Amino acid sequence: MRSCFIALLALAAALPAAAASQVLVVAGRGGEAQVEQRFTTWTQQVAKASVTVTGDALLARGLAGEKDADREKILAALRTAAQNARAGDRFVLVLLGHGSFDGTDYRFNNWGDDLTGTELRGLLDRFPEGVAQLVVAGTSASGSLADSLASPRRVVIVATKSGERNAARFGGFWAEALGSSDADKDKDGDVTAQEAYEYANRKVTETFKTDAAIATEHARLVGADPGRFVVARLGAAALFASDAQLGAMRTQQEGIAQRIDQLRAQKAQLPEDDYYNRLEQVVLEMARLGQRIDARLVQLGVPAGGSNDTR
């Protein structure tokens, strides 16, 4: 029994604190109907894939078209996301479309007055301290954002090295990565920002080679530990967003993880036996819930042990 409890304590130590994720994906103006439809399709793909991470479609918003992606709607969505965020949460912003650089500031080509890089930084800085941020700018001239948005709490991925003006292909491959098992290099069911970046960057390079053309875009990644951002879940991992029972059990799991964190914080104030007795009960509850999750996965056709993701 003692060895079992020690193993459960190790499991508890490995559990991350529960954190919420919000995702905002914006399609800019295309100038032509066909191009705008392409940006809209990419936006829908990214938003849909992001639900597998947020667990709630309301937390993975996609703005596209003149009605929904004008300047005021974008600003309002960013302000709302900042108001709803709490320390420990994560926020992902994806910009898809055309951008420009006037030598001083970046501009995202949306409906209404363009959103500038300076304005974007100001809006992102409104998020509470402790909210990790990922910004993916898959637009032309997006390289000018890489340094201007740099922050210890922010990872910035851009489609171009600097102000390169040609239409960027990176955004489409980023959208593709979020649904591709090829992007999931370690095959754990999670596609991280690092994996999606490497996939999209590789695909861009391949297309220029296939077209026998000189590469006009060179993606960049600025910021520490992009692997901490999960941007999509695949296979069995994605079931937690699509299956109501699994979703409910994940919520319970996050609640238990919070209780474990609270107990850890009280360790110094509690008698040793009392602390470990309380912790044992909560960890056993987590283990029993894990068994129920495994059973549900088997019901859905996932072999026992077929998913490493019960977070």
Q: What's the one-letter identity of residue 303?
A: P
Averaged confidence pLDDT in the chain: 87
Q: Tell me how far apart the terminal alpha carbons of the chain are, to the nearest angstrom.
A: 26
What mean pLDDT do residues 243-262 have? 83
Please list the residues that pair with 134 across neighbouring strands: 92, 155
Rounded to an integer, what distance in angstroms lies between the CA atom of residue 83 and that of residue 277? 38
Map 141-191 to HEC letters. CCHHHHHHCCECCEEEEECCCCCCCCCCCHHHHHHHHCCCCCCCCCCCCEE
Rounded to an integer, what distance in angstroms lies between the CA atom of residue 137 and that of residue 154? 13
Rounded to an integer, what distance in angstroms lies between the CA atom of residue 201 and that of residue 135? 16
122-146 pLDDT tens trace: 999 999 999 999 999 999 999 999 9
174-213 pLDDT tens trace: 999 999 999 999 988 899 999 999 999 999 999 888 877 6
Who wins on pLDDT, 217 or 40? 40
- Would the pLDDT of 35 be above 70? yes
Rounded to an integer, what distance in angstroms lies between the CA atom of residue 78 and that of residue 120? 9
Rounded to an integer, what distance in angstroms lies between the CA atom of residue 128 and that of residue 111? 28
- pLDDT computed for residue 137 by the predictor: 97
Strands (E), the chain: 21-27, 60-63, 90-97, 99-101, 106-108, 115-116, 132-139, 154-158, 190-192, 220-222, 230-233
What mean pLDDT do residues 49-57 have? 90
The pTM of the full predicted model, rounded to 2 decimals, is: 0.78
Question: In the CATH hierarchy, which top-level class contains the domain 21-234?
Answer: alpha beta
- pLDDT computed for residue 303 by the predictor: 62
Contacts of 169 (CB under 8 A, 6+ apart): 159, 203, 204, 207, 217
- pLDDT computed for residue 304 by the predictor: 54
- Would you state the structure tokens that stand for residue 139, as one six-digit string? 């637009």
